[in-house]
Amino acid sequence: MEMQNRRVVAIDTGQFRKALGRFATGVTVVTAVSPEGTMIGLTVNSFNSVSMDPPLILWSVGRNSRRGQDLMRAKGFAVNVLAGNQLDIANRFSRWLETPFDGVDYRLTANGLPVLDRAVAHFECEHHAQHDGGDHVILIGRVLDYSLGDGSALVYAGGRFTALDVHSRPNVPD
């Protein structure tokens, strides 16, 4: 279907970012082992499910991100859904550190991927596809294994972090 009389406005990137920030997202850290054998990780809030059969997830990374390039070259990756009390982990992996895993509790899985302790979920993936996303690359992973933990999830909206208790019922009419 063709859009008729479409109106295109000039995009103010600052205001556009604010508008996007109105949408709450979960907070994850994508972890992997680089081809050189270095453990790497990056805080990502662009995580989403794609398919149940086959089990696919996606996340995106800035085209010019050095850690993103390393994550794209890794054999696989793990998406760690952070718990509400893991703000320090989100902050740690959002900035460049030479040794980001120092002082962080993690384990290596049977697939050789580092997963963060106390995250509320982990998804171990192999690369399935990559797509152009403007100034980002959209990565789709095929889930090889996953785990589910307890607790509230860390959420980001409006430039702020908060914890979301997924076990409580919102106060909305039936």
Burial, 131: exposed, middle or buried (Cβ in 10 Å; 0-12, 13-18, 19+)? exposed
Residue 98 lies in a domain: yes
- Condensed to tens digits (0 to 9), the pLDDT of residues 23-60 reads 888 899 999 999 999 999 999 989 999 999 999 999 99
Q: What is residue 66's predicted lDDT score, i.e. its pLDDT?
A: 85
Please report, in angstroms and rounded to a whole number, the separation of the first and last CA atoms in the chain.
36
Residue 57 lies in a domain: yes
DSSP state of 3: P
Number of structural domains (the chain) is 1
Domain of residue 136: give its range: 25-164
Residue 8 lies in a domain: no
- Condensed to tens digits (0 to 9), the pLDDT of residues 63-78 reads 988 888 889 899 999 9
- Above 60 in pLDDT, residue 169? no
Q: What is residue 22's predicted lDDT score, i.e. its pLDDT?
A: 81
* CATH number of the domain residue 135 falls in: 2.30.110.10
Residue 173 lies in a domain: no
